[in-house]
Amino acid sequence: FSNHDIIIVGAGFFGATIAERVANELGKRVLLIDRRRHIGGNAYSENDRETGIEVHKYGAHLFHTPNRAVWDYLNRFTQFTDYRHRVFSAHKGQVYAMPINLGTICQFFGKHFTPDEARALVVSQAAELAGREPQNLEEKAISLIGRPLYEAFIRGYTAKQWQTDPRELPENIITRLPVRYTFNNRYFNDPYEGLPVDGYTAIFERMLGNPLIETRLGVDYFDLKSEIPEGVPVVYTGPIDRYFDYRAGELKWRTIDFQEEVLSLGDFQGTAVMNYADEDVPYTRILEFRHFNPERNYQTEKTVIVKEFSRFATRADEPYYPIDTAEDKRIYLAYKALAEQEKNVIFGGRLGTYRYLDMHQAIAAALKSFESEVRPALT
């Protein structure tokens, strides 16, 4: 390791951004390792062998950002399509546009409402609690959007996501439930949105293309930690509790099981993401990957769908969403204090800081960490 100026653990967006900056901006030598056998972290995608359809291996990844600097940065490594994300939700034999908008409300209540009429309706239905403080997630949701919309679109979906009755979930899991009083059903509000024209993995190949970056895959940091010479800075984007051998307790996560199927038909659902709001359907949603890239000439004989099942993660699972209870917050703060004492190690990314980060946030955090922590450590 004496050949390297810095060691970066994790080839997701956080680690790859740091690696790119260190090599291209500072001209220093990087060793980037990942325990997985591919680069890209959770944004990794590959083309399905049978159909050629690009499949995001760790769930649908939609790139969107309000941040011009991040958008410009990523545009150095890819062009974006003009894909605009939309989500639909199946409920009791009907299909509705998400997030809940004026179209959803008119369709659901079977009536033409003006924006003001719809607003007044939701306000009157949300008054059910009569000023009482919400005691659980169900009551919180009702206080925001009223019972009918909650029971149709939130209750079953949330119960499946958490494998818990929403009346037993804390109210602070949700702070808002967006309702739009227009017919706009674009999922994201951000000014910059799109999918990479030649896929996610190509972004990482370009970011890591500088020969100053050596990438080693299938390598677990904890198997080589003892060989790293004193004084070589490390950027660690793995789980922070694992780093400290779980000595302050285990941080809790949710994971998703993905059930992939290739179907012999040209179009299964007519859209990329269909939520299943009802509890009698075991999965939370179905992704159909061809619809992320309508500009590609995919074959029309076959299509790839993925059903998602949500559950609590064990140590053996991929950690996806921090559960972040009061207990988790306390544990994380203990690790954060330990991390600050850890010389020459910079903790970052979603696992290293126990935070859900969208891709653009992981990149923004890495660009910031590069300037405030990595550059000073190397120059």
Among the listed ranges 60-68, 95-103, 140-148, 277-285, the one in contact with ligand FAD (CB under 6 A) is: 60-68
Residue where the block lists tokens 């207990």: 327
Task: State which of residues 267, 295, 327, 342 lies at the interface with Na ion (CB under 5 A).
Answer: 342
Catalytic residue among 147, 254, 296, 375: 254
216 catalytic? Reply is: no
Applying CB under 6 A, the site for ligand FAD has a residue count of 35
Residue 250 sits in the site that holds Na ion (CB under 5 A): no
Rounded to whole angstroms, the Cα distance separating 376 from 363 reads: 19
Among the listed ranges 20-28, 32-40, 73-81, 154-162, the one in contact with ligand FAD (CB under 6 A) is: 32-40
Residue 295 sits in the site that holds Na ion (CB under 5 A): no
Angle made by CA atoms 255, 260, 265, in degrees to the nearest 5: 150
Rounded to whole angstroms, the Cα distance separating 18 from 20 reads: 5
Residues sharing a CB contact under 8 Å with residue 114, sequence separation 6 or more, in sequence order: none
Rounded to whole angstroms, the Cα distance separating 293 from 317 reads: 29
Work out what residue 73 binds among Na ion, ligand FAD, none; the CB cut-off runs from 5 to 8 Å by kind: none
Residue where the block lists tokens 């709001």: 277
CB of 126 to ligand FAD, least distance (A): 29
CB of 223 to ligand FAD, least distance (A): 8
Among the listed ranges 5-13, 311-319, 327-335, 337-345, the one in contact with Na ion (CB under 5 A) is: 337-345
Catalytic residue among 21, 36, 155, 180: 180
Work out what residue 342 binds among ligand FAD, Na ion, none; the CB cut-off runs from 5 to 8 Å by kind: Na ion
180 catalytic? Reply is: yes
Catalytic residue among 176, 227, 280, 340: 176
Catalytic residue among 21, 308, 335, 350: 308
Question: What are the residue numbers of the active site?
Answer: 176, 180, 254, 285, 308, 356, 358
Contact footprint for Na ion (CB under 5 A): 342, 345
